[in-house]
Amino acid sequence: MITLPPLIELRNITYSCPGRTSPLLKEINFSSSKERIGLIGPNGCGKTTLFQIIMGLLTPDKGEVLLQGRIMKDEKDFRLLRRKLGFLFQNSDDQLFSPTVLEDVAFGPLNLGSSPEEAREISVRTLEGLGLKGFEERITHRLSGGEKKLVALATILSMQPDLLLLDEPSNNLDPETRERLIGILKDLDQAHIIISHDLDFLASTCSHLYTIEDQKLIRCKAKQIHSHDHIHPYGDHPHQHGT
Partner 1 sequence: MIEEPFARGTTFFHRRDARVKLIPALAITLILALSSSFLVTGTGCILTGVLLTLSRPDPGLLLRRICSVNIFTLFLWFTLPLTYGGTKTLPFFFLDLSLDGIRVATLITLKTNGILFCFLALLATSTVASLGHGLEKLGMPRKLTFLLLFSYRQLFVIHQEYLRLQRAARLRGFIPANSLHTYRTYSHLFGMTLVKSWNRAERVHQAMVLRGFNGTLIPLNQPELRREDYLFLATILLISFLLAAIPFFC
Residues within the interface to ligand ATP (CB under 6 A): 17-18, 24, 41, 43-49, 90
Q: Binding segment for partner 1 among 66-74, 79-87, 182-190, 232-240 (CB under 8 A)?
A: 79-87
Closest separation between CB of residue 88 and ligand ATP, Å? 13
The least distance separating partner 1 from the CB of residue 180, rounded to whole angstroms, comes to: 24
For 192, residues 6+ apart whose C-beta sits below 8 A from its C-beta are 36, 37, 163, 164, 165, 166, 185, 205, 206
Which amino acid does the sequence have at 55? M
95 binds, among ligand ATP, partner 1, Mg ion, none (CB under 5 to 8 A by kind): partner 1
DSSP state of 23: -
Question: Does 17 contact partner 1 by CB under 8 A?
Answer: no
Which CB sits closer to partner 1, 44 or 183?
Answer: 44
Burial class (CB in 10 A: 0-12, 13-18, 19+), 53: buried
Return d(Cα 171, Cα 196) in angstroms, integer: 8
Nearest CA-CA partner of 138 in 168, 81, 98: 98
Judged by CB under 8 A, the chain residues 115 through 134 that form the site for partner 1 are: 116, 119-120
CB of 117 to ligand ATP, least distance (A): 39
Residues of this chain that bind Mg ion (CB under 5 A): 48, 90
Compare residues 33 and 91 and give the one whose CB is closer to partner 1: 91
Nearer to Mg ion, 68 or 90 (CB): 90
Q: Of residues 17, 55, 191, 203, which one binds partner 1 by CB under 8 A?
A: 55
- Other CB atoms within a 10 A radius of the CB of residue 71 amount to 11
The reply on whether position 112 binds partner 1 by CB under 8 A is: yes
- State how far the Cα of 106 lies from the Cα of 133, in Å rounded to an integer: 15
Least distance (Å) between residue 64 CB and partner 1 = 19
Between 48 and 205, name the residue whose CB sits nearer to Mg ion. Answer: 48
Q: What is the spatial order of strands in the sheet that 62-67 belongs to?
A: 25-32, 8-15, 62-67, 70-71
Residue type present at position 216: K
Residue 83 binds to partner 1 (criterion: CB under 8 A): yes
- Residue 42 contacts partner 1 per CB under 8 A: no
* Closer CB to Mg ion, 90 or 172, in the complex: 90
Q: 3-class DSSP state for residue 167?
A: strand
Query: Is the C-alpha dihedral spanning 65, 66, 72, 76 positive or negative?
Result: negative
149 binds partner 1, rule: CB under 8 A: no
Cα–Cα distance for residue pair 35/240, rounded to 1 Å = 23
Interacting residue ranges for partner 1, rule: CB under 8 A: 55, 57, 79, 82-83, 86-87, 89, 91, 93-95, 97, 99, 102-103, 106-108, 110-112, 116, 119-120, 141, 155-156, 159
